[in-house]
């Protein structure tokens, strides 16, 4: 099973969706080494290749960085108000995409 930072996935993906060449996969996960039975969700996002060329931008668009930036803002916002948002516990990158971990609801 894939691991993402301190989180190991459980079983098969809950859902995997491809839209316009971007792939999003949702995994149920637990923290590595934890015995508390707490469940998490890891969302893994793999942006399509070639966005920079299609956009005509010499510097390119990095959809993975945009995804992580959104996760970072959500994490900061949760720490500020929290009652309306799912917490973002961790986020990072893989060889082919980016991910974040939150509670399993």
Q: What is the pLDDT of residue 58?
A: 47
Q: What is the pLDDT of residue 101?
A: 93
CATH number for the domain that contains residue 55: 3.30.200
pLDDT tens digit sequence for 12-65: 999 999 988 889 999 999 999 999 999 999 999 888 765 544 555 444 556 666
Q: What is the pLDDT of residue 34?
A: 93
Burial 46-69 (b: 16+ CB within 10 A, else e): bbeeebeeeeeeeeeeebbeebbe
Is there a contact between 47 and 67 (Cβ–Cβ < 8 Å)?
yes
pTM for the complete prediction? Answer: 0.71
Q: Which long-range contacts (CB under 8 A, 24 or more apart) does 75-81 make?
A: none
> pLDDT grade, residue 74 (50/70/90)?
low
Tally Cβ neighbours within 10 Å of residue 78.
17
Tally Cβ neighbours within 10 Å of residue 92.
14
For residue 31, the enclosing domain spans 3-103
Start-end of H helices in 1-105: 51-55, 63-80
What's the average model confidence in pLDDT over 98-102?
A: 90
Domain count, the chain: 1
């Amino acid at each position: 099973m894939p691991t993402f930072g301190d989180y190991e996935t459980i079983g098969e993906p809950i859902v995997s969706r491809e839209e316009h060449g971007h792939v999003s996969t949702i995994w149920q996960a637990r923290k590595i080494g934890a015995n508390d039975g707490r469940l998490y969700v890891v969302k893994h996002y793999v942006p399509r290749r070639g966005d920079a060329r299609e956009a005509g931008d010499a510097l390119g668009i990095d959809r993975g960085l945009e995804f992580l930036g959104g996760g970072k803002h959500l994490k900061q916002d949760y720490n500020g108000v929290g009652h309306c948002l799912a917490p973002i516990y961790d986020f990072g990158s893989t060889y082919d995409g980016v991910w974040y971990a939150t509670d399993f609801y």
